[in-house]
Amino acid sequence: MLGNVERLVWGNRELILEGLSVTAQVCVAAFLLALVLGLTACLIRLYVPLLRPLAIGYIEFCRATPIFVQLLWVNYAWPEVFGFPHTVMQAGIIALALQSSGYLAETFRSGIEGLPAGQREAALAVGMTEAHAMRRIILPQALLTMAPSIVNQLVVVIKSSTLVSVIAIPDLMYQAMRIVHQWFEPIEVLTSVALIYIALIFAISAVARRFAGHLRRRYGLGGET
């Protein structure tokens, strides 16, 4: 078996690393876009009554639609209807971001609503604007409460990214299946890919714990994690 690992995995390391690089690009871009969309939808739902039904509809649509359907919908329907995305990479990023943004919007909402209302009122009373109070008072505290859910959603994005190969994005899973179809020996290749994903997720969890500890020290909100 070690011989097969050396031949199939190590021998194709450049292909695997290329796929891993694409996976990282897709996941980072999709997650950052999801954070922006999710926070925007959350703030509209909380603070813009006129647009609240639209925000709720957007959130529920994103959460209720399977990622596989969203991938195919964005890749094949959007170019005909909206004129974009122009590449499969863009389609994959948008589809992953759409679904995650719905869950992140609810995460942000629960974190913000979980804070005592008096903190926002006190910030406004001392002359802060809504935006300043949100940035300096509310979000830093809410972020610590929301951190586990946010990290969990990043993990979901990484796992869901394995599906982008269905629209021919050359990610890690796509390259792994190319090797499998070439040699018809899936055990060593897919086991190695599974271990890569496990290592990636463990690394992200470790970084998230350090970041949460940094926030606690910076804002004086408790001990280290």
Q: What is the CATH number of the domain that holds 118?
A: 1.10.3720.10
Q: For 136-164, how does the pLDDT look when each residue is reduced to its tens digit (9 = 90+)?
A: 777 777 777 788 888 899 999 999 999 99
Report which of residues 134 and 215 the model is more confident about. Answer: 134
Q: Please indicate, yes or no, if residue 225 is contained in any of the structural domains.
A: no
Number of domains in the chain: 1
What proportion of the chain, given as a percentage, has pLDDT over 90?
57
Confidence category of residue 223, pLDDT binned at 50, 70, 90: very low
Cis peptide before 79 (omega within 30 of 0): no
Q: Please indicate, yes or no, if residue 224 is contained in any of the structural domains.
A: no
The pLDDT value given to residue 195? 93
Q: Please indicate, yes or no, if residue 211 is contained in any of the structural domains.
A: yes
Average pLDDT, the chain: 87
The pLDDT value given to residue 5? 66
Residue 225 in this model has a pLDDT that exceeds 50: no
Residue 167 in this model has a pLDDT that exceeds 60: yes
Q: Please indicate, yes or no, if residue 40 is contained in any of the structural domains.
A: yes
How far is it, in rounded angstroms, from Cα 95 to Cα 188?
A: 30
Range 5-37 burial, b when 16+ CB lie within 10 A, else e: eeebbeebeebbebbbebbeebbebbbebbbeb
User: What's the Cα-to-Cα distance from 59 to each of 53, 159, 186, rounded to whole Å?
Assistant: 10, 21, 38
Q: Which residue has the tokens 């959350």?
A: 42
How far is it, in rounded angstroms, from Cα 90 to Cα 95?
A: 9
Residue 64 in this model has a pLDDT that exceeds 80: yes
Check if the beta carbon of residue 112 is closer than 8 Å to that of residue 42.
yes
Check if the beta carbon of residue 38 is closer than 8 Å to that of residue 63.
no
Q: Long-range contact list for 61-64, CB < 8 A, 24+ apart?
A: 61/102, 62/98, 62/99, 62/100, 62/101, 62/102, 62/103, 62/105, 63/99, 63/102, 63/103, 63/106
Instruction: Bin 127: left if φ > 0, else alpha if -120 < ψ < 50, else beta.
Output: left
Range 42-68 burial, b when 16+ CB lie within 10 A, else e: bbbbeeeeeeeeebeebbeebeeeebe
Q: 79: domain range?
A: 2-219
Question: What count of other Cβ atoms lies within 10 Å of the Cβ of residue 127?
Answer: 8
Residue 47 in this model has a pLDDT that exceeds 80: yes
Average pLDDT over residues 52-66: 95
